Amino acid sequence: MKKTAFLFPGQASQYAGMARELYDGYDDVRDLFKIASDILEYDLADVCFNGPESKLKQTVYTQPAVFVHSCAVDLLLKNEGITPHVAAGHSLGEYSALASSGALDFESGIRAVAIRSRAMQEDCDRHPGTMAAVMGLEYDDVVEILKSAPGVAVPANYNSPGQVVIAGEVDAVDKACDLLKGKGAKRAMPIPVGGAYHSSLMDTSSEKMRKFIMEELTLSAFRFPVYSNVGAEPVDNPVRYKTLLADQISSPVLWYPILQNMYQDGIRRFIEIGPGKVLQGLVKRSLNFDDIELSGVDNLENLIDFLKENAEVESA
């Protein structure tokens, strides 16, 4: 049986109507939304189901929505005895991965995500920024080219070979895109997020989360390792992971190195857990090997299909 990884998405995976069928079909999912809504002090289900998209795009709503959707799918799979050998999450998704591993209980997770999203929204409001996906240049080349870009424009996500996301001030990112295209990028296009995540424009939220994580957040024993965004290596030590998580907001997401390391560690089955198919696309572009199996679980229909076809997933 192939070793399995659960992959958890981050922002830009949200959409109006997300998790509605799961909510309608399962008491456990309704319970998660009730807990989250009580902590958030607003009706998260209403935001997820009805949007509008402009509201759901706002960081303060996006992050809890994606986190709870992902945790709901993870819970339903675990109720059927389906668990991975390892996990990883893209930016915000790292909190979902930690919850899946048992290192972070759901209530603590939604509290952490609430603090994270509010702090990052404040940074977004204070320092308006944006992000753009750059295609056709490698990470090291983007790093070097951006050194000559005016303003704040930095690498934020190393997503796959030839795809790097940059973040920064709106004008600076626009100019950086032109500069990168002039240096050989095939495309440089904006992505639907509400701020310049993983850049210096997030310094205030980064320090708030660092203080919260190091002083208040408790991580418990891991049932399986989680690959860190910052180091791209599997970690199952709570003390070590807290330090890495504290660095996350202000550091680039090393997603492609994570996938490379997973493959080298024997992972051959990758399952995206939560809204959308963004991470499945990144696996396809990153691991072009015949022995890879790739799937995702988002809504009720593909949950049922997955359970019918994949109930034999080997538990760790």
Instruction: Please provide the average confidence, as pLDDT, over all residues in the chain.
Output: 94
Distance CA 316, CA 231 (A): 23
Question: Within a 10 A sphere around the Cβ of 12, how many other Cβ atoms?
Answer: 23
Between CA 116 and CA 272 the distance in angstroms is: 23
The pLDDT, as a whole number, for residue 193 is 74
What pLDDT is stored for residue 314 in this prediction?
A: 47
pTM, rounded to two decimals: 0.94
Q: State what percent of residues in the chain have pLDDT above 70.
A: 97
- The CATH superfamily label for domain 129-190 reads Malonyl-CoA ACP transacylase, ACP-binding (3.30.70.250)
Is the confidence at residue 194, as pLDDT, over 80? no
Domain ranges of the chain: 3-125+200-310, 129-190
Predicted confidence (pLDDT) at residue 66 exceeds the cutoff of 50: yes
Task: List the one residue out of 239, 245, 235 whose CA is nearest residue 220.
Answer: 239
Q: Fold match between 3-125+200-310 and 129-190?
A: no
Question: In CATH, which of 3.90.550.10, 3.40.366.10, 3.40.50.720, 3.40.50.300 is domain 3-125+200-310?
Answer: 3.40.366.10
Q: What is the pLDDT of residue 72?
A: 98
- Grade residue 315 by pLDDT with cuts at 50, 70 and 90: very low
Average pLDDT value for residue range 275-296:
95
- Render pLDDT for 133-188 as a digit per residue (tens, 0 to 9): 999 999 999 999 999 999 999 999 999 999 999 999 999 999 999 999 999 999 99
Q: What mean pLDDT is predicted for residues 275-301?
A: 95
With residue 273 as reference, give the H or E element that holds it.
strand 267-273
pLDDT for the residue 316: 47
Cβ atoms 16, 53 nearer than 8 A:
yes
Instruction: Give residue 10's pLDDT.
Output: 94
Average pLDDT rounded to a whole number, residues 261-269: 98
Residue 195 has what pLDDT? 87
pLDDT level of residue 1 (50, 70, 90 thresholds): low
Closest to 204 (Cα-Cα) out of 127, 108, 92: 127
Q: Hey, which residues are catalytic here?
A: 91, 198
Q: What percent of the chain has pLDDT over 90?
A: 91
Strand residue runs (E) in 30-120: 86-89
Q: What is the mean pLDDT of residues 90-102?
A: 98
